[in-house]
Structure 1
């Protein structure tokens, strides 16, 4: 089973949506990790984030204007330090293997738009997933990706005819 880490920017109202997304993923058999759970204990957050990014098979980067601004270094150094640090780890890992598009995946949750996807995730030239709502139907494409259950399977080539 794949381990999934959810990366996002903390914002009033958005935190609850992200928690609902995490609950939805876990309820559908996806081993998703979220900082809100780890916040129940004292943490060295820099180490915790590094471990999550390093150990995750897939990092879901949740789009929002604040996530984009913080991950692109367009906010002050004291605003959203966690998101800035986490994005730095993601950018560095992604830069080391830019062809690994399956590992760093932009996700747009209800109430957000693709404008919240950071530039380094190439939102205009690569796949991103829009979650309409927290139902199987509303998140089918993302669930298929995470569960490795594509809608259309490749079929084996048949024999070439004797001509």
Structure 2
């Protein structure tokens, strides 16, 4: 039975301060405790031993090189100073020789991503996705993403490719659908989104994501503006009644939802345009409340 290979990584960083060295060691510890064979000078180099020898060996042999980027690291890399400068020669040579850039994982500890006085990322890592680890309260999430990257277990999985849309079929499904209008249907739907924009502090509105993914069987509340009677000589005397009623969702066609009115309108005795069980066509912007099973 073959054993599972343990991924290995070497951490390249500059000795900015004792606090910075402690931070690097803590990150390395978390990675080791989660299955990554991390090499770190603070653990693997004894007094009298060569720091550069460790880097020469492990940059070549390790599966990943984690580069902890700070403005000081950037400057030493540019000027090829000290251990950082020596490491960058090795890394640059690897990149130039065609070693996959995926081997190198820059993480920004301090400084900026953009070029300038406070830049943290050396130029030869331009175009390589860098992990932002500048916020202390986000370290746990950043370490998890590092682990996912190393183990190839990415947070977001690529969706399967579906079938090409049948535009003609989709058009046939909803080309006959339309929103109710006062002159044709005796009622119209009022936009809950518009009302929310007018009075955001007092008018409740479900989140857009919830309104966009309604399922068959969900109950939604809509605002109906119903005409009670009409004065042909003086339209200003027309009477209307606004009523909030529940509709059960029956389907979704293109941008439209279809549903059936599940309330008996209060105005049933005064109008014949809208009754319980009638089909209602609506859009996400009309939904002012949602009830699911």
The question of a shared fold, defined as TM-score above 0.5 by the shorter chain, is answered with yes
Give the equivalent residue in structure 2 for 1:154. 158
The 5 Å alignment of 1:1-163 reads: 1-12=6-17, 13-73=19-79, 80-97=81-98, 100-109=100-109, 111-114=110-113, 115-122=119-126, 125-131=127-133, 132-133=135-136, 135-154=139-158
**Higher Rg of the two aligned structures:** 2
Aligned-pair Cα RMSD in Å: 2.5
Q: How far apart are the structure 1 equivalents of 2:161 and 2:61?
A: 37
Bigger drift between 87-96 and 135-144 goes to 135-144
Local SS of the residue matching 2:14: coil
The alignment's TM-score, normalised by the length of structure 1, stands at 0.80
Runs of 4+ in 1 over 3 A off after TM superposition: 132-136, 154-160
Q: How far apart are the structure 1 equivalents of 2:46 and 2:52?
A: 16
Question: How many positions carry a matched residue from both structures?
Answer: 153
Task: List alignment gaps of at least 5 residues for structure 2.
Answer: 1-5, 114-118, 165-293
Give 1 or 2: higher strand fraction: 2
Q: How far apart are the structure 1 equivalents of 2:130 and 2:153?
A: 17
Q: Relative CO higher for 1 or 2, CA cutoff 8 Å, sep ≥ 6? A: 1
Please state how far the C-alpha of 1:41 moved relative to its aligned partner. Answer: 4.5
The alignment's TM-score, normalised by the length of structure 2, stands at 0.47
Task: List alignment gaps of at least 5 residues for structure 1.
Answer: 75-79
Local SS of the residue matching 1:40: coil
Please state how far the C-alpha of 1:64 moved relative to its aligned partner. Answer: 0.7
Local SS of the residue matching 2:145: helix
Residue-by-residue CA offset, 1:96-154 (whole Å, 9 max, x unaligned): 116x1211111123x454321111100xx331112344754243322210121112233
